[in-house]
Amino acid sequence: MSQKKLVKQLSKKLEKLESDKGKLVIKLAKAKERLDKKPPVKKPTTKKIIVKKVAVKKTAAKKVPAKKVSAKKAPAKKRVPSKVTPATSAA
């Protein structure tokens, strides 16, 4: 591409980004105005009620044993008896 075309493309992109920026600034300004218009919320004053704390006996929580999941075992392989040679005594 020639440099002129590249410059045109980039300038178009720049203009688009600048217009988007302007739109966002306006949007933020409107949102700020809305927040400024809202009066601060006052919490209604409530009378504090003094509650006498009573010592509560804590009961030990019963521990429920977890269920053991039986793992499926592979079937046992049959052992092939190896040939046993009788030991000869050399006397």
Does residue 5 have a pLDDT over 80? yes
Indicate whether 21 belongs to any domain.
yes
Work out the number of other CB atoms within 10 angstroms of the CB of residue 2. Answer: 7
Indicate whether 74 belongs to any domain.
no
Phi–psi pair at 70, nearest 5 degrees: -80, 125
pLDDT at 41 (0 to 100): 65
Q: For 13-52, b where at least 16 C-beta lie within 10 A, e where not — what string?
A: eeeeeeeeeeeeeeeeeeeeeeeeeeeeeeeeeeeeeeee
Indicate whether 84 belongs to any domain.
no
Whole-model pTM: value is: 0.37
Domain extent, residue 28, equals 1-39
Q: How many domains does the chain have?
A: 1
Indicate whether 11 belongs to any domain.
yes
Q: pLDDT digit string (tens) for 41-76?
A: 666 666 666 666 666 666 666 666 666 666 666 666
Q: Which residue has the higher pLDDT, 19 or 36?
A: 19
